[in-house]
Structure 1
């Protein structure tokens, strides 16, 4: 029989067996298991996985480098059914699947959501094959509208047992601290993290001393260095919790009398007077052998100068033994220490159709950027100023220092990432670059800081600059540490002078509501003027224009200029080696910068006689990188278009390529007139031809409108940016250079 006929016959038989839509039986004997050829328990849901593996075998026989995904098969009708199969029937494969879902849950609340009645939907499995011969099993619990939970199982031809079987020795499924203590001691004795990144010998002003018998006491930081733990946590959202609970969190702060903490804190007191996250952080620190803990609400007494404390956070976190990130908590009243459901059943190697099934470690990036604590603005600098970090999740801990990243299940391995894994993450990169002083990479890292910071939330928007003040001081100190007599760097409302054009070229992912802007806090050209929780892009390739120049800082808010008194300014300008105080002064002054004078090539964005067209009439395709346009309907015409939903704006001269910009703010349907009348960085309807542009780089343009409330005609507010105009490289050819004020 010809080979083509054989392949056709195999396809027909495979399709007959492989009914992609048939869910497994949900009758009582679905939980019945029987031993397979590897002497392990196997349920009928495992049969569905075997069919997926058989599909993969057929593809590999045809093409060893085949890359693709199988159709989906339902392996269980709900998570609770999977849970019963793993616990009651003892199915070894279902134990692995169950643990995979639990290990993907960062908080305790997420793990409990798996068992909620509203989340009981079929569990779908897909086999993914890559061209290198690797394979993995992608699991998803899907409702008719969306995927609620997902998990991944890795497949290999060799057994790969866990380096630490956490189910064999844990009483009550709680953490055994021996492994974590060994990791901390290894860093302390064998790494140079402390010698490189410890900022000074100074302790924080106040520390909680752990006394034993569940009691603590607020004490002044000893004169000699001590090992203390710093807690990074989320207070929670006051809008989503009872008022009494929020009052309890805030009320647990240290009160003062005549500038001193109250006796109730200076004397020993029981830990149950503090919220649950703090209680468990104290117990955890003591279990690891530490006698001191620092966290903001207790160790920055009410009435303390918050600006001063914020600017020395690089010292508080840099000098700590490690920072404990409460990744498992959604609010301060959540416990850190609790039973971890993923270790209910003992680890056991599992094999189906010649392949071993392995649980995998969640990438550290996911823990960092998806946990509730990562939504809080203050925690960004807490993480990036810490030489050593413990991320405490609902099912295991992660450790990160500059030289090692390890989880409770084992070392974090990134030597052969799959297409679904993220590249290796290092939270200490900012500190490493501050240590080496690589100027270009340091500016790259600051832009990464901004991109990670703008989507986060603040209880008090006025803290927009304070919440990264420690990072700004550390950045400046990294450039001033060499003690040169002339330091040109300056902090300008969240941007840096030495690379100002590049820092101006930030953009929003999509235009936002102008009514939520923070232009009472920062000028329009600063990302800090955006509303809270806005996603930005900062890291597009950038080559500066030789025509752009920062001329001067014209105006600094008086409240911040006070820090730069004549005496302080003299000290700042001198060749003193006290760059720590200089950095704090530079950061405080930088918060108040409002107006800068710049110079560059300048022109209108849209031709005066251009015709407006509908966006839908010209856009033919859009990808994540760019849009494609079809201008055949408008030959030889100057045209422009504005996308009302996401803020994109396009300008095209008659016989030249188009330039596409991104406006910062949306057109408002309601109250648009009143919003437009305010002096905000908002482009009203029918005002597109008022748009001016300033060249920042060879492929970066700042979009501007004239400020309405300024007496000077050369004052402009930013309304957006255009990045990567490859179809119109000569956009500024022949244009005059002009000095303008950015406000």
Structure 2
């Protein structure tokens, strides 16, 4: 009779069988399971590579407890499709965490789909980052030979459950958890002061969409009593990159009029599917949250409406809403908001490695959603965001909530909920509204300059709307300055700039000179950033100390000619109405300002006897920073121009240099240019004159002979921060000049 196996031999037999099972290839996957020494969970080879990184980190920490640095990279999977297969077919919890990390970094649905595209299947690399505080994270990248295509971050914790988790909350699923969003919205309404502090008035928009049962809606005039409504902020899309039929459908969603009134087809109930998909889903979201009115610009501003007046009311439309729904996940108005989100189609669980490390997905920062989503490239959406006290950002895989008192991110399995802020952070979308309320003039002007930087990089379907797309912000800014009870109001709106800090506002610059023939000089004067082409990166925040010699004199020309009568229309006899109307009138008049007279120290930028030299002959790199070497030209006045980025240098014989930035490049072809094209031709550099704005800031100007004003000049650039030549204007005459 054979000897009975001992318990030890039972265990050895079982372990051998398990080892054989785990080492068998997974059918059609290209993966090989291994039995990990770190944890009894099944783990793939990628998990083993991560464990090697963790071992490396543990060794560094044993040597030095405050060690900070990054590990060598390790390849953990051949591509995303392999990672996706491992996560879905084999149930590897580590791979599910990594897969979700990549998906959560994608702002739009299209971005998430790109992860699976055949052209994007490249190795996934991981690097362990250790900080001196003891925190660590896993930086993941998908790299092609040319560039990093995708990146993601997974946090590593020694705690099984992070402090910020709320176990009572149901985890996210493929469809958004609207119940949890409704609790957030209701909680803000009940417990925060957002509505009482920042609601502009009790007035509703001129037109609203009323949400009816059975998937129907109806355009109605704004009721006389205040009602709760949602505002949709979205991107129409680029007509050049979409099928003509889609653009026609988006444009066709606009409300037509007969004799100034919306057509009956809109005044009577109509099905929601008559509207593009983004609007359909926004209507469903609003109704699911218990709000049965919604404002959508294309539908609620009927064709033929006084567009100028409606644009100047945007601070009311957005300021009075329950919240603004920002369609961050949409690239165009025919994209869906409601769909199965890939990050949540697979259930996950807390994932331990090496008995001490837990992998955690972390929310994408709200600022990335704000500044990198397609909607952030549309000019109109800037004021829609900055004028909204409460905002829901609808991203590709989760929603975010932002109000003055808190920011919340939709919670998923084993994820954090962002903490409630005790104070308004600097990056808060509602900072502009908060400063308007507090009335801090210096910070308010700085915020306007931030708005300019964010606005100039955006696109417009109709460039003629350059001023209209920020009209609501201008009205709100003016009313913040004028609403302090003073009887003498000096502030004035001047083509996108503000009079009370005019020198500071004039000191904007372009990051690099741009094509001159795309400028908007017919819309705005040369000294206004609004005259630049669309989608230009500007800089407005350089340190600035105003010159005691600079003075704003007066506005000398406004178009249309009867613009001064705009202000006269505000005197209705009702102080509250006059106050609101005056802000709108100041903005309307400000759009037409073309010529201003200013006073300041004035001189040539380039000396008459200066020698023209090439930029390459003097540019030198010093400690990795750009610098200059004038050793080959002792005792000579010089000037040079960089034809690549528009930098221009002037140096008097025995003084330091001044480097300016021209707004426009010189055209490289022979095509004719119109009279408004404000660039300096090669050989005309000695015509440039300069006007002091601040202690280290000047405007670069050339004579404007097309205007009938004496001493007329148009802007061609700016110079800021010329520390090597602080005395550039010493002893120069002070002159009155007209800027055109």
Please report the TM-score for the alignment, with normalisation by the length of structure 2. 0.92
For residue 590 of structure 1, report the CA deviation from its aligned partner.
0.2
Corresponding residue number in structure 1 for 2:6: none
Corresponding residue number in structure 1 for 2:16: none
Corresponding residue number in structure 2 for 1:239: 240
Per the alignment, in what secondary structure is the counterpart of residue 31 of structure 2?
helix
Q: For the Cα contact (< 8 Å) 2:312–2:468, is it kept in 1?
A: yes
Instruction: State the distance in 2 between where 1:108 and 1:262 align.
Output: 35
Task: Give CA-to-partner distance per residue, 1:711-733, whole Å, 9 cap, x none.
Answer: 44511110111111111111111
For residue 613 of structure 1, report the CA deviation from its aligned partner.
1.9
- Count how many residue pairs are aligned between Structure 1 and Structure 2: 707
Write the mapping of 1:574-613 to structure 2, written as runs, cut at 5 A. Answer: 578-613=578-613
Corresponding residue number in structure 1 for 2:252: 251
Per the alignment, in what secondary structure is the counterpart of residue 127 of structure 1?
strand
Corresponding residue number in structure 2 for 1:720: 717
157 and 318 in structure 1: CA distance in 2 versus 1, 3 angstrom threshold: same
Moved more, 137-146 or 37-46: 37-46
Corresponding residue number in structure 2 for 1:696: 693
Write the mapping of 1:184-263 to structure 2, written as runs, cut at 5 A. Answer: 184-263=185-264
Q: For the Cα contact (< 8 Å) 2:39–2:352, is it kept in 1?
A: yes
Q: For the Cα contact (< 8 Å) 2:563–2:592, is it kept in 1?
A: no
Instruction: State the distance in 2 between where 1:66 and 1:668 align.
Output: 54
Is residue 2:418 matched to residue 1:412? yes
For residue 481 of structure 1, report the CA deviation from its aligned partner.
1.1
Per the alignment, in what secondary structure is the counterpart of residue 99 of structure 1?
helix
Per the alignment, in what secondary structure is the counterpart of residue 41 of structure 1?
coil
Q: For the Cα contact (< 8 Å) 1:276–1:334, is it kept in 2?
A: yes
For residue 577 of structure 1, report the CA deviation from its aligned partner.
7.2
Corresponding residue number in structure 1 for 2:299: 298
138 and 566 in structure 1: CA distance in 2 versus 1, 3 angstrom threshold: closer
For residue 166 of structure 1, report the CA deviation from its aligned partner.
11
Write the mapping of 1:7-22 to structure 2, written as runs, cut at 5 A. Answer: none
Instruction: State the distance in 1 between where 2:32 and 2:247 align.
Output: 45
Instruction: State the distance in 2 between where 1:106 and 1:125 align.
Output: 22
Instruction: State the distance in 2 between where 1:131 and 1:602 align.
Output: 53
For residue 56 of structure 1, report the CA deviation from its aligned partner.
2.3
Moved more, 99-108 or 629-638: 629-638
For residue 185 of structure 1, report the CA deviation from its aligned partner.
0.8
For residue 619 of structure 1, report the CA deviation from its aligned partner.
1.8
Q: For the Cα contact (< 8 Å) 2:29–2:85, is it kept in 1?
A: no
Per the alignment, in what secondary structure is the counterpart of residue 569 of structure 2?
helix
388 and 642 in structure 1: CA distance in 2 versus 1, 3 angstrom threshold: same
Instruction: State the distance in 2 between where 1:170 and 1:732 align.
Output: 63
Instruction: State the distance in 2 between where 1:569 and 1:215 align.
Output: 40
Task: Give CA-to-partner distance per residue, 1:235-263, whole Å, 9 cap, x none.
Answer: 00000111111111111111111111111
Moved more, 40-49 or 211-220: 40-49
Corresponding residue number in structure 2 for 1:432: 434
Please report the TM-score for the alignment, with normalisation by the length of structure 1. 0.91
Instruction: State the distance in 2 between where 1:506 and 1:622 align.
Output: 27
Per the alignment, in what secondary structure is the counterpart of residue 249 of structure 1?
helix
For residue 40 of structure 1, report the CA deviation from its aligned partner.
2.4
The gaps in structure 2 that reach 5 residues or longer are: 1-24
Corresponding residue number in structure 2 for 1:680: 677
For residue 88 of structure 1, report the CA deviation from its aligned partner.
1.1
Instruction: State the distance in 2 between where 1:405 and 1:147 align.
Output: 30
Instruction: State the distance in 1 between where 2:631 and 2:359 align.
Output: 55
Q: For the Cα contact (< 8 Å) 1:165–1:347, is it kept in 2?
A: no
Corresponding residue number in structure 1 for 2:621: 621
For residue 579 of structure 1, report the CA deviation from its aligned partner.
1.5
Q: RMSD in angstroms over aligned alpha carbons?
A: 2.3
Task: Give CA-to-partner distance per residue, 1:37-70, whole Å, 9 cap, x none.
Answer: 3332311011222222222233333333333322
Corresponding residue number in structure 2 for 1:504: 506
Task: Give CA-to-partner distance per residue, 1:265-300, whole Å, 9 cap, x none.
Answer: 111111000000000001111111111010101111
For residue 636 of structure 1, report the CA deviation from its aligned partner.
2.1
The gaps in structure 1 that reach 5 residues or longer are: 1-23, 416-422
Instruction: State the distance in 1 between where 2:27 and 2:642 align.
Output: 50
Corresponding residue number in structure 1 for 2:658: 659
Write the mapping of 1:526-537 to structure 2, written as runs, cut at 5 A. Answer: 526-537=528-539
Moved more, 663-672 or 28-37: 28-37
Instruction: State the distance in 2 between where 1:738 and 1:271 align.
Output: 63
Corresponding residue number in structure 2 for 1:321: 322
82 and 166 in structure 1: CA distance in 2 versus 1, 3 angstrom threshold: farther
Q: For the Cα contact (< 8 Å) 2:250–2:333, is it kept in 1?
A: yes
Q: For the Cα contact (< 8 Å) 2:329–2:394, is it kept in 1?
A: yes
Instruction: State the distance in 2 between where 1:52 and 1:566 align.
Output: 69
Q: For the Cα contact (< 8 Å) 2:172–2:410, is it kept in 1?
A: no
Is residue 2:148 matched to residue 1:150? no
For residue 33 of structure 1, report the CA deviation from its aligned partner.
4.8
